[in-house]
Amino acid sequence: MKTNEGLADRAIRVTVGLAILSLLAVGPVPGWGLFGFIGAVPLVTGFTGFCPTYTLSGIDTRPGTIRRKAEGR
């Protein structure tokens, strides 16, 4: 797994992941608490710096990288 997320992208993902996970503790509507598990996805991708969707679409948000798909590879 090659890192394909920049620092700002990772920070946003961790923040959003923690915010969504907080729904497990204080769900706004009863029964929505399980929705909080979806927060694990941005949290894990933020911590690892790797996003499979970015790889499929050829996106790289690290500074100084070219943001285009590999041509013919």
Run of H or E residues at 11: helix 7-21
At position 70, the amino acid (one-letter code) is A
At position 62, the amino acid (one-letter code) is R
Q: How far is the C-alpha of 54 from the C-alpha of 63, rounded, in Å?
A: 15
pLDDT score of 46: 95
pLDDT score of 72: 47
Domains of the chain, residue spans = 1-28+45-62
Q: Which residue has the tokens 């710096």?
A: 49
pLDDT score of 70: 52
**Does the CA dihedral 38-40-41-46 come out positive or negative?**
positive
| Verdict on whether the full-model pTM lies above 0.85 | no
Question: What are the pLDDT digits (tens) for 33-62?
Answer: 667 788 899 999 999 999 999 999 988 999
